[in-house]
Structure 1
Amino acid sequence: MAAYTPRMHQATIKRATARDAAALTGLVRESGAYRGPYSSIISGYRVTADYIARHRVFTAVDATDRLLGFYALVLDPPELDLAFVSDDAQGAGVGRLLIGHMLAQAAEAGLSTVRVVSHPPAEAFYRRLGARRTGTVPPRPPQVTWARPELHFAVG
């Protein structure tokens, strides 16, 4: 697959629907960031239509409606539960666009902070966007065998 090169302003954010569940699941399972030692956390993982209906799930798509990434914001308790950008769209500003949108959704919902339990390699990305590290979440074997950084975004 060719690398995604258009600038981020060419991506559009849309509310996910039940019809997006399979594509979102595919994006999670194909993520290069979760190969090797991190693969256990997404093994068998599914984004379901029910999950999409219960949470604020938004996608980033290009002009041809190709999925570039998505996030899921859980309101209670406030947490960025999922955030994925397709491997070929990374570095094009899609993740920054999604996080900015997520923070706007959090503000609209009246939240003051949003927790992120980060994939360890993604911590620097979240910190560049303003998240503050607040702790470490211990491993939860058998699926998660490593500690994960806990961060918080201030909203507003």
Structure 2
Amino acid sequence: MNARVTDGDRGVSVRRATARDAKRLTHLVRTSSAYEGPYAPMIAGYRVGQDYIETHEVYVAVGRDGRVLGFYALILNPPELDLMFVADSAQGLGVGRLLMAHMKHEARAAGLGSVRIVSHPPAEGFYLSVGARRTGTVAARPPAVMWDRPELELTTG
């Protein structure tokens, strides 16, 4: 679905990310309030590089004004949702659900029956609400990740 997908009611469209989006995506990650407090070390210094965007299936949700509202990155082999962020100002507006619907379509089009998600602990409820099911727990890996994370699977059918 490389064509733009739109949530016409809100004027939000989803398009393939380009190298020119790298700085905006990095800013979105680094300013996410979901990663404050004990989660802050996980994104400290994190960068979404142009090479990452060119290598993976990265899509952005953009508002009518051109502002990036969120993005996701899908790794095809093995199938995994690598990154998923929605701007704090766009939380609760359906942007995450739009991105997940788009990701399921892209995964299905690529022949994937399911996608693994290793969730940020506070985001597990969101993934469950869009149809993912819990399959286990990924153990902490200090010093980069200091907490266990829920492992989920989302079928694309």
TM category (shorter chain) comes to over 0.9
Structure 1 residues 94-134: Cα deviation after superposition (integer angstroms, max 9, x where no partner) = 00000000000000000011000000000000000000000
Residue number in structure 2 paired with 1:66: 67
5+ residue gaps, structure 2: 1-6
SS at match of 2:147: coil
Could you tell me whether the CA contact under 8 Å between 1:18 and 1:53 is conserved in 2? yes
> Normalising by structure 1, what TM-score?
0.94
- Which residue type is aligned with residue 84 of structure 2? A
Q: Matches of 1:82 and 1:7 in 2, distance apart?
A: 25
Residue number in structure 2 paired with 1:3: none
Q: Matches of 1:69 and 1:8 in 2, distance apart?
A: 17
SS at match of 1:72: strand
Query: Identity percentage over the alignment?
Result: 60
- Which residue type is aligned with residue 149 of structure 1? P
Residue number in structure 1 paired with 2:3: none
The structural deviation recorded for 1:64 is 1.0
Name which structure has the greater RCO, CA cutoff 8 Å, separation 6+: 1
Q: Matches of 2:38 and 2:17 in 1, distance apart?
A: 30
Residue number in structure 2 paired with 1:26: 27
5+ residue gaps, structure 1: 1-5
Q: Matches of 1:27 and 1:49 in 2, distance apart?
A: 15
Count of residue correspondences: 151
> Normalising by structure 2, what TM-score?
0.94
Q: Matches of 1:66 and 1:8 in 2, distance apart?
A: 16
Residue number in structure 2 paired with 1:124: 125
- Which residue type is aligned with residue 122 of structure 1? A
The structural deviation recorded for 1:7 is 7.8
- Which residue type is aligned with residue 46 of structure 1? R
Q: Matches of 1:80 and 1:24 in 2, distance apart?
A: 16
Residue number in structure 1 paired with 2:18: 17
